[in-house]
Amino acid sequence: MLIVTSNEIPGHRIDAVFGEVMGLTVRSRDIGSQMLAGFRSLGGGELPEMTRALYESRQEVMARMVNEAQQRGANAIVAMRFDTSEMGTNWTEVCAYGTAVYVLPLGEGEPGATGQSVYLTKNAGQQAAQPQQNTPPAPPQQTTPPHQF
């Protein structure tokens, strides 16, 4: 799933628009991490407990947004944004939202084509030309998140 904050994806044409999609969570801060963060804030610097909570919240709302877009038949989300707000004294709302779309990569010679879109169209054409073999799919590979806290 391509996700961009811009209104367009370079090298791609938006073929269908499925509307706004979002992911939402409301989290409460547990008293232990809130007190620990309060003590750490006296000295200044990063508050790892709060950073971890916000990172996990963003990952969760992104997954929910992508799931909603996929259910509608989208293969990309444009104009993606995050929004956060405080609800009461201990609750934080985190929301990710954007517009679910179906995009097609532009081929070589098409106005606006990029190296990536030309590669995608050529690769798709090569895969379609190859005969299908009865081989089992490769097992999924484990990936680690980009940031470890």
pTM assigned to the model: 0.74
Its sign, for the CA torsion 67, 72, 76, 81, is negative
Tens of pLDDT, residues 6-60: 999 999 999 999 999 999 999 876 555 555 555 555 666 676 777 888 899 999 9
Mean pLDDT (the chain) is 82
Return the closest-CA partner of residue 104 out of 20, 9, 4: 9
Report the range of poorest mean pLDDT among 24-28, 93-97, 126-130.
Answer: 126-130
Report the range of poorest mean pLDDT among 48-57, 81-90, 95-104, 124-133.
Answer: 124-133
DSSP H/E element including 130: none
Has residue 138 got a pLDDT over 80? no
What number of CA atoms fall less than 13 Å from residue 84's CA on the CB side? 10
Has residue 109 got a pLDDT over 60? yes
Residues 77-101: what's their mean pLDDT?
Answer: 91
140 or 112, greater pLDDT: 112
